[in-house]
Each structure stands twice: as C-alpha cells, then as structure tokens.
C-alpha cells in the first residue's frame, strides 16, 4: 500500500513539472562572432584553425589554435570595464548579450527577480593568472593588480552578466572541465522544471590560448602537432587524428519556462527535454575504454521525458579528435542505441571550432538547437582516411552537411576527471 502511494506521489510530482524551451541563442566562436554567422560557417564546413597570434609560439610543440577573430571588446563593453575583465569574461558578456536580446529579455515587463544566470568555464581567468604570476616572478617586491582575484575566479562571469542586466534570480558557475556548459544547462533546466525561476541565461566561455594553456596541454601530449597544416588538424574519427585543437570563445542560450515564454510572445527555437550526468570513475584524463560512463550519461539523459533511443535523430558528439576518445564514444553510442546507432546522424563540430574546453558544450548546444530548428546536420570536416577500428556503418556526416528531419538532438560533453554530461533538445510542436 505504502509503495503504491509513493509511486502515485512521484508521478503527480513529475506531471506538475514545468516544460522548458529555448528562446534565445548567442555564439562567439573561431568561425563566427554571432550565432547566425557561426551556424552558416558550420554548414559551409569552415575551419577556424590558424597559427596562434596571441603569443610567441616559437618554442612550443603546437603553434596553432582556433582563435576568435576580429574581436574588439571595446565595441561592446566600456573601455574602463574591459580592463577589469579577463578575456573569458569579456566573451561571456558579449555572447550573453546576443542571447538575451535574441530572447527579448531586454524588454520592459520581465520579472528580473525570476531570471537567473548559470555560467560555466573549465579554467576561468587564465590570462590574468599568467600575467600576475609572471610579474611576481620578475619583481622581488610583490605587486598585484587589485582586480587579480575578481578577474580570475570562474563565477565572476555569471556575476557580471547579472549586474549588467539586473537579473536577480539564482546565480552561480559550474565547473566540470569540458562537461561544464552542459551541466550549466542541466541545472537551469531542472530549476525551471521545479518552478524556482522563469528563465536562465546559461552558457560557457573559455580563453585558454596562452602560454600556460598551450604549454600545459602540450606537456600532456593532448594537442595536435600538425603545424604544417592547421586547418585540417582537427579530424575526429579519421585514422590519422593526433590530438585536439585548442579553441576559445563562448556560447549562450536562454532557457525558459514554456508558459512564461508564451505569455510574453517569445519565439521558441525548440524544447529542452533531458539532461544526464555521470562519472567514468576510471582515469584522470583517459575515457573508459568501453565507454561505460559515456553510455550511462546518454541513457540518463533520455529518462527525463521517457525518450526512446530510437527517437533520437542526431548526436553532436564530444568527438575531440583524440585516438582513444573517439573510439570510446562510438562504443558507448552503440551500447545505448543498438542498431539505431546506424540510422542516426553523428557529427563533431569540433572539427571546425576546435575544442573550447569548458565552453565546448555551449557552442555545440547552439549547433544542436539549430539542427533541430532547421532540419540539417552540420558536418564532421577533415575526414581523409577511414579508421579500420571504426564501424563504417556509423553515419558520421563526413565533410558535407546532411538534410534530414531532426526531431530530437543530443549533445555530449565529457571532461578530464571523468565528468560526463549530456543534454537533449526536441522540436517544439506546441
């Protein structure tokens, strides 16, 4: 009797949970400084990789990356304020501005007490950290910029966004390496479902292209060293992949309760219908070889709305272009989806943007949302040689975008430490 009452209570609770939709997007990426430009260049198969311009790379094993191009923060932020912001926070402000305006949250009449900000980064203020520690090493008398700590800490981006717009709802940061942004989206999704807020500005930003960022990942032997041909260096699922290409930038989405969005006449890109998390519990940096954590997180993400595996049309995979990671992720997909794995489209947009670390999930969510909205799957570029260890029956969307109905799209994010997070988007049909 008690068990029956418990089950009835649970289903009543679930039935009362709010529906969640996406009403705004923003992107600042190596292949486009706005969401529309980014999306168009994804469909064109444009590579964002080029020689690094931000520091002298003469003594580095990797001398290229996917930098944001033609970015002048002073065009968007007061010059005095720019000096108080690390590059990752500059990216966050500019990108979130685009999403907020796209969603119409900048209009009069919105209840700012019920709008929150959840912003992710894997590293945060790396530029200012390197600058200040270098100054300390060169100067026997310690002299620190008073903005050193406020520029460096990861949560400061969320704080700046809330202060810029007066959003007084829940405000915090998520940090889980390359799964960080997806976890920001999941937290926003769940808080809205529970009625704790009307909307969230959620996303992630990263600015790791610096002496410490490149040097640190080089020391781990994680980066591609294809210096003679940067544009083709990020080649997920290709036999000759040799590591990921570092990227920088930001992505933002406005996640909103459905009735609130309808009441204010907001446009709706799609519905968010799932978010799963798991841990590999295996290794500091390497994925589980059988993809156990990756399989678990995808399975978990489908449970929120009881989505069947065969309903998923597209997966924007983590797909970093590393020898071990690409294989493990496909193994996990086959474990979860069975024969349906061969009927889906799979692609890695990191082949074009590089790996934005803590911001990767943010820009890839934007790509997934647009795939659902526009019914077209962006490609995995730079495929030259089939890997005999990869099942050729997978549709990895090599080199050319593919038109198809995308009712449900999934986006994966896996991070050092074994952190896994997956989000699911569905076409909105009223």
Beta bridge partners of 411: 316, 423
- Both tokens assigned to 117: 């900000």
In whole angstroms, give the CA distance from residue 407 to residue 425.
Answer: 8
Chain centre distance of CA 251:
7
Write the DSSP string, 11-44.
HHHHHTSPPEEEEEEEEEBTTBSSHHHHHHHHHH
**Active-site position among 160, 260, 288, 355:** 355
Tell me, yes or no, if 288 is annotated catalytic: no
Q: Are 28 and 75 in contact (CB under 8 A)?
A: no
In whole angstroms, give the CA distance from residue 188 to residue 114.
Answer: 12
For residue 398, what are the contacts with CB-CB under 8 A and spacing of at least 6?
237, 379, 380, 381, 383
For residue 351, what are the contacts with CB-CB under 8 A and spacing of at least 6?
47, 234, 235, 236, 319, 321, 379, 380, 381, 382
Q: Burial, 51: exposed, middle or buried (Cβ in 10 Å; 0-12, 13-18, 19+)?
A: exposed
Tally of residues, the chain = 430
**Active-site position among 66, 95, 160, 178:** 178
Write the DSSP string, 266-284.
----EEEEEEEEEE--S-S
In whole angstroms, give the CA distance from residue 389 to residue 11.
Answer: 44
Tell me, yes or no, if 270 is annotated catalytic: no
Q: Are 366 and 353 in contact (CB under 8 A)?
A: no
Tell me, yes or no, if 178 is annotated catalytic: yes
In b/e form, how buried is each residue of 163-200, taking b as 16+ CB within 10 angstroms? Answer: ebbebebbbebbbbbbbbbbbbbbbbbebbbeeebbbb
In whole angstroms, give the CA distance from residue 398 to residue 360.
Answer: 20
Of 329, 343, 258, 345, which Cα lies nearest the Cα of 289? Answer: 329
- Both tokens assigned to 78: 């007061």
Beta bridge partners of 402: 377
Residues taking part in catalysis: 178, 318, 355
């Amino acid at each position: 009797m008690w068990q029956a009452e418990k089950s009835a209570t649970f289903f009543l609770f679930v039935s009362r949970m709010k529906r969640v939709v996406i009403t705004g997007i923003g992107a600042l990426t190596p292949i486009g400084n706005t969401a529309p430009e980014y999306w168009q260049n994804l469909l064109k198969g444009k590579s964002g990789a080029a020689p690094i311009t931000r520091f002298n790379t003469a003594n580095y094993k990797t001398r290229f990356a996917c930098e944001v191009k033609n970015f002048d923060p002073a065009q968007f932020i007061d010059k005095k304020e720019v000096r108080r912001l690390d590059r990752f926070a500059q990216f966050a402000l500019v990108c979130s501005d685009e999403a907020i305006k796209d969603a119409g949250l900048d209009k009069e009449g919105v209840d700012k007490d019920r709008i929150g900000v959840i912003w992710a980064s894997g590293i945060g203020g790396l530029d200012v950290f390197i600058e200040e520690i270098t100054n300390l090493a060169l100067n026997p008398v310690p002299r620190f910029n008073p903005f050193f700590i406020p520029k460096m800490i990861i949560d400061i981006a969320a704080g700046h966004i809330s202060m810029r717009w007066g959003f007084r709802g829940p405000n915090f940061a998520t940090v889980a390496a390359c799964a960080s942004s997806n976890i920001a989206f999941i937290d926003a999704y769940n808080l809205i479902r529970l009625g704790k807020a009307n909307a969230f500005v959620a996303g992630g930003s990263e600015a790791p292209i610096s002496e410490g960022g490149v040097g640190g990942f080089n020391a781990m032997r994680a980066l591609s060293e294809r210096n003679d041909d940067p544009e083709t260096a990020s080649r997920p699922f290709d036999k000759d992949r040799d590591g990921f290409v570092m990227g920088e930038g930001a992505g933002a989405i406005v996640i909103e309760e459905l009735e609130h969005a309808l009441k204010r006449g907001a446009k709706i890109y799609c519905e968010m219908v799932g978010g799963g998390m798991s841990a590999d519990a295996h290794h500091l940096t390497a994925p589980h070889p059988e993809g156990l954590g990756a399989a678990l997180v995808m399975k978990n993400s489908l449970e929120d709305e009881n989505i069947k595996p065969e309903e998923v049309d597209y997966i924007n995979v983590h797909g970093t272009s590393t020898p071990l990671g690409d294989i493990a992720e496909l193994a996990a997909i086959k474990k979860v989806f069975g024969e349906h794995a061969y009927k889906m489209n799979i692609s890695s947009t990191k082949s074009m943007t590089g790996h934005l670390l803590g911001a990767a999930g943010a820009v890839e969510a934007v790509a997934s949302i647009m795939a659902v909205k526009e019914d077209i799957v962006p490609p995995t570029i730079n495929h030259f040689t089939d890997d005999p260890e990869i099942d050729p029956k997978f549709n990895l969307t090599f080199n050319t975008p593919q038109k198809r109905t995308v009712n449900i799209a999934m986006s994966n994010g896996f991070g050092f430490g074994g952190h896994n997070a997956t989000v699911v988007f569905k076409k909105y049909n009223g």
